[in-house]
Each structure stands twice: as structure tokens, then as C-alpha cells.
Amino acid sequence: MNDAEPSTVFLDLDDTICEHPRSTADRLADAFDSAGVEPFFDVGDFRRWLANVSADTTLELRERCFTGIADEQNRDPDDALAVARAYEDPDPTTVEFLPGAESALETLGARYDLALVTNGDRETQTAKLATLDIADRFDAATFTEPGGPVKPDPDHFHRTLSAMGVSADEAVHVGNSLRADVAGAHAAGVASVWLEQSSATADPSPHYTIDSMHDLHEPPWA
Ligand SMILES: [Mg+2]
């Protein structure tokens, strides 16, 4: 990180710019129900595991999280797999902006070049961008391709830097995940802005922390 103002702002998509109206807890309850498995963990366990697991697909990610939780609790891994498969991926065309995100994109876009850095796949994330009508706000978008890197792999950021034609010290990255966004940005030498979503101790420690996307109207790095 240097002291010069960045030219380029990278942004995560899920739970940074947009979210689903139906909560993860609701979808998890539905999944237990349709798998016919007595609920043996909650969304807090799911989030705790999500913070430590990577996978190429959302199904694989859920399978790893849920079987990990089952293992912790001496439960049948087959039950965990059944719940992982019954869990319905949210409909990308129902996403909504997080508070302040739409106007933050407007404000930032007038002053910086913007790029999207998301762990979602191209098809799903493109559908969300179309729903929100913001695809043209970004000069580059890095998705997760099958078998390709996911944040916090610095390759995800390196690809975006190269697509934007800038060096790491010219960019800042804004995201909600300490593991994927903050650690990933740091691994690529990019300054981090963490959208704080819990009062957990921030590890790794972000360069900047914001409470809401409204805070980006006065960028913390400027
Ligand atoms: Mg996110």
C-alpha cells in the first residue's frame, strides 16, 4: 500500500453490493426439511465453516462445510450430503442492493475505474449484474471459472489488475469477507476495505473498515 490515491476500485459482489431477500437461515431450514433430516446445525455453523473452506462450485462448498460440521458432531456424513444437495441455490434474478451500494457505485464510478472481483461463476453473477442493471459500471469483471482460482488466491486479483492495466498499489479492494476479500487483496499487494458484517475481531486486519456501503461516498482511503 502506498500513500498515493488509487485510480481503481475493485469490488466484491455478494453481500458487498447485493444480497438475496430470502435469508441463508431460511434456505437452510428448507433444506433440512426437504432432505428429511433433523436440523443439527444452524447458519452460524455454516458461516463459520464457509470462512475456512474453498471449492469450485457452491454445491461442493456446501458439501465440505456440512460434512465438516457433521464430523464435529459425530453425525452421519450422508445426512450432511443430503442437506447440501437439498439446499436450493438462491435465484440470481431476485438480488437486491445492500443499503448504500447503488449510490456508492455511482459516486465511485465518477472518480475511479471500477472492477468486479467475485468468487461466483460467470453465468450466475452476470444474471445478478443484469438484474441490478450495473454491468456497465465495471471496466473488468473477474469470475471464478471451473477449476480456476477463487479468492483469497491472489491470482484472482492479479488477473483483475492485468485486465485493468494497473499495478497493485494503484488499486483498493472492497469486500465483506475477511478471508476471501481482505486476505486475498493483501496476498496480491492490494489495499483492503472491509465491509464489516459482524463484530468479530478482524483477522487479517484490513487497511480500512466501513460499516455500510454508504461510507464509500467519502472513500476512507481518499
Ligand atoms: Mg462477498
Q: From the centroid of its chain, how far is CA 105?
A: 16
The three-state secondary structure class of 190 is coil
User: What is the per-residue pLDDT across 4-49, written as a single tens digit (0 to 9) for each?
Assistant: 789 999 999 999 999 998 888 999 999 999 999 999 999 999 989 9
C-alpha 200 to ligand 1 mean position (Å):
16
C-alpha 21 to ligand 1 mean position (Å):
15
C-alpha 74 to ligand 1 mean position (Å):
30
What separation in angstroms does the CA of 148 have from each of 21, 35, 68, 104, 183? Answer: 29, 31, 23, 30, 18
User: What is the per-residue pLDDT across 45-87, written as a single tens digit (0 to 9) for each?
Assistant: 998 998 888 887 889 999 999 999 999 999 999 999 999 999 9
C-alpha 76 to ligand 1 mean position (Å):
30
Q: Hey, which CATH number is domain 8-20+94-217, 3.40.120.10, 3.40.50.300, 3.40.50.1000, 3.90.380.10?
A: 3.40.50.1000
Domain ranges for the chain: 8-20+94-217, 24-86
C-alpha 180 to ligand 1 mean position (Å):
8
Number of H helices and number of E strands within the chain? 8, 8
Q: In the prediction, which pLDDT does 151 show?
A: 92
C-alpha 212 to ligand 1 mean position (Å):
13
CA distance 1 to 15: 25
C-alpha 16 to ligand 1 mean position (Å):
5
C-alpha 170 to ligand 1 mean position (Å):
22
Q: What is the pTM of this model?
A: 0.82
